[in-house]
Structure 1
Amino acid sequence: MKRSGFVYAALLVIAASVTGCAENPATPTATPSTSWKHAPVETTSTVTKAAETAAAATQAAVDPSFLKFDKMSAKLTPEHELQLMSLLPKLKEAKAITLRGYCYKKDIGNAKSAALARAVNVEKFLVKQGISKKKLSRRFNTEDAEHAVRVEIGK
């Protein structure tokens, strides 16, 4: 019974406000140039992602053999793939390639597995690009405060 009384009261308020609007039309005002009432606000996560992407692009330009990962990710991004593609001619000529996965042990519980998972994903991508699996080896580093894979080219 309380619920139906509340609904009835809400309907009365809505009806009264609609009737009030019809009796007192609003004066015309300038219409905003956008279709929304308030300008969109970038959230911290959007800004953070943009900053991380810019930092990754800068890192790729400085050292294309160092692929930075998100702390909780081992997935290759399109940026990682572009970095690896830029290294492909050197990698095809190399006699040995070491993929050193990084995961800081103070950030992640099973850092060794995460570091190796990153290296494995890079290895799978390189094998698909025609790099012989025989010349690829994986290592890990959990001591440095990094979340990345370094592609080390042996002569």
Structure 2
Amino acid sequence: MTHIDPDTDPARTPPTGPVYTETVETVVVRDSNTGWWIAGVLGGLVLIAVLWILFAGRGPGDADARMLEAQADAARAQAAADAAMVQGQITGAQASVDIARADAARAQAEAVRAGNDARAAEARATTPPPPVVITTPPQPAPATVTPNAPQN
């Protein structure tokens, strides 16, 4: 069997030149979930390990005991705060009493001083003034000057 191309001239010779060949490679990639399965299993193991570390050694009663202990601590702190507040109020009241006593003592002292001043003023008003005595100082003797008298 021969192949005859009607478009080619049999008298014409084909051109000679370098021959290029092209190679096509096809890579077939198959979908595989193996990597995802490995990552999932490792993630699950890590999660289980973390949960075991967090909750190891703690029973269900431990949480209740810790809750009761925390409530007792909160009650003690509240009682201490209340006691401090009451002590502050007592201290403030004592300071107020001390201030009132000081004011009363000062008022009493002023009243005594005012009474004394009033009695002194009354005493001055009822007593006659002392008589005024005018005295003249003694006069020195007149000096006599003589020619033989010593001169000091």
What range describes the TM-score normalised by the shorter chain of this pair? under 0.3
Structure with greater strand share of residues:
1
Structure with greater helix share of residues:
2
Return the structure number with greater relative CO, CA threshold 8 A, min gap 6: 1
Which has the larger Rg?
Answer: 2
How high is the TM-score relative to the length of structure 1? 0.21
